[in-house]
Structure 1
């Protein structure tokens, strides 16, 4: 699949990667810290990859040819709140790098953009 993907195609592609038995997840140090700070679990991230939605267009990742997507949705552990993760997927290798995680209703307090 040629990137960048539309939000609809990104939703389907990331879900397919998330459900693949060979899925490999990598967390940036920033993402690991945000998981702890915000009380979001790695199982929330995995659930998002398998069931979440991409609503926005992607932005370029730091590595040429890769793109960052924000996938979001409610998870079993989120008590009705939407969780979002900014991810850099690789469809060919079935890998996902998690850049950061956040509560969607707290985005206005977060610095930076995807």
Structure 2
């Protein structure tokens, strides 16, 4: 398990994973994209350009820290939240996507 990271450190690590690490997508992510009519490219835009506003949450079932990356993709009215966790320091797992209710 990767130890709890600050919001800014998690964001830096996420961006590094896109540059030279591994970005994996959980099947649950693809399912939620279909159900919520979210283009995976929009979610990827949020991962590349979004911000982590909330503190990380520990998923006790899997013993992993989860982070919500938030942002508004171009040409979309609603903001998205994309939930991620780090499997290793150079490997991020994209778990799910949600429409922001704000």
Bin for the TM-score computed over the shorter chain: 0.7 to 0.9
Q: What SS is found at the alignment partner of 1:40?
A: coil
TM-score normalised by structure 2 residue count: 0.79
> Against the structure 1 CA distance between its residues 90 and 48, is the aligned structure 2 distance closer, same or farther, given a 3 Å change threshold?
farther
Name the Cα RMSD after superposition: 2.1
2:1 is aligned with 1:4? no
Residue correspondence of structure 1 range 29-68 to structure 2 within 5 A: 29=28, 31-61=29-59, 62-64=61-63, 66-68=64-66
Structure 2: runs of 5+ lacking an equivalent: none
TM-score normalised by structure 1 residue count: 0.72
Instruction: Kindly tell me the number of residue pairs found equivalent between the two proteins.
Output: 100
CA contact (8 A) 1:28 1:97 kept: no
Q: Give how far 1:3 is off.
A: 2.7
> Against the structure 1 CA distance between its residues 21 and 12, is the aligned structure 2 distance closer, same or farther, given a 3 Å change threshold?
closer
What is the CA–CA distance in structure 2 between the aligned matches of 1:47 and 1:23, rounded to whole Å? 16
Structure with the bigger percentage of strand: 2
Structure 1: runs of 5+ lacking an equivalent: 107-114
